[in-house]
Amino acid sequence: MKVVVLTGAGISAESGIPTFRGKDGLWKKHDPMKLATPEAFGKNPKLVWEWYDWRRQLIAKAKPNEAHLLLADLEKKIGDFWVVTQNVDGLHQRAGSKKVIELHGNIWKVRCTSCGVEDYDYRAPLPEIPPKCESCGGLLRPGVVWFGESLPIDALQKAFALSQEADIFLVIGTSAQVYPAAELPFIAKNSGAKLIEINPEETPVTPYADISVRKTASEGLKEIIPELL
């Protein structure tokens, strides 16, 4: 049985990491067009890096929560199990999940805008803002996908394939507003998967879900795990 899980910012809420669109979400306090687009970075790389450095420090202090750990445990119990995440915090991997597809990149990755070298840089806070490439001195950018940018093609193709093959597709902690990630639950459902949603609030996925649990990620997962084993 193939189980695929699409996660969003809501699964990291219980780790103390703010979501984007909730009542105290990041996009309520900050304008994404000033912080999360290539144009914003081109205009003011220092401002964009100050914001990402703040998020990196927050994430460095955060710990995977029970929901992340439950998914890592399920990967061990269910042979064919994948996490497809929109999150860039790396908490699934820190919880022990091995099979993780990162659709929107990873906040610990940095990429040189001049020579293109990409590497992980876990320093929080960064010693210099904006950080420079060690090989060529060029300006580094966060290794995440910004609005208006295309997703890493290999991750996206793998995520589409997994959604078409899934027997059970879980959607946890996403408002399902941002495409192409938001397409995946519908692809899974239309390909015959059983669709299970876990979210304290309703989303555009809710009407199509076979089971929709109005709970937090950890509480909801504990409730539906018997459906998976």
Q: Which residues are catalytic?
A: 104
Query: How far apart are CB 21 and ligand APR at their closest, in Å?
Result: 4
Q: Note whether 70 binds ligand APR by CB under 6 A.
A: no
Q: Where are the alpha helices (DSSP H) in the chain?
A: 10-13, 26-29, 32-35, 38-43, 45-61, 66-77, 91-95, 153-165, 184-190, 217-228
- Write the interaction track for ligand APR spanning residues 95-134; mark x where CB under 6 A is met and - where it is not: ---------x------------------------------
CA–CA distance, 211 with 172 (Å, rounded to integer)? 12
Q: Give me the count of residues in the chain.
A: 229
- Structure-token pair, residue 47: 């401002």
CB of 114 to ligand APR, least distance (A): 25
Residues 6+ positions from 9 with CB-CB distance below 8 Å? 17, 18, 19, 20, 25, 86, 87, 173, 174
CA distance 150 to 164: 21
**Phi, psi of 139, deg, nearest 5:** -80, 130
Residue 27 or 160 having the CB closest to ligand APR = 27
How many residues of this chain bind ligand APR (CB under 6 A)?
24
| 9 contacts ligand APR (rule: CB under 6 A) | yes
166 neighbors 193 (Cβ within 8 angstroms): yes
Told to check if 90 binds ligand APR by CB under 6 A, we report no
Measured CA to CA, the distance from residue 225 to residue 223 in angstroms comes to 6
Show contacts with ligand APR in window 138-197 (CB under 6 A): 173-175, 177-178
By Cβ distance, which residue is nearest to ligand APR? 10
In the complex with ligand APR, the residue whose CB is nearer, 19 or 97, is 19
Q: Which stretch binds ligand APR (CB under 6 A): 7-15, 39-47, 110-118, 127-135?
A: 7-15
Q: Could you tell me the smallest distance in angstroms from the CB atom of residue 63 to ligand APR?
A: 15
For the stretch 79-115, what's the b/e string if a residue is b when 16 or more beta carbons lie within 10 angstroms of its beta carbon?
A: eebbbbbbbbbbbbbbbebeebbbbbbbbbbbbbeee
Q: Which of 2, 21, 34, 222 binds ligand APR (CB under 6 A)?
A: 21
**Of the ranges 4-12, 44-52, 72-80, 163-171, which one interacts with ligand APR (CB under 6 A)?**
4-12
Span from 14-22, 38-46, 118-126, 162-170 in contact with ligand APR (CB under 6 A)? 14-22
64 closest CA partner among 7, 6, 11: 11
Residues near ligand APR, by CB under 6 A: 8-11, 13-14, 19-22, 25, 86, 104, 173-175, 177-178, 199-201, 203, 216-217
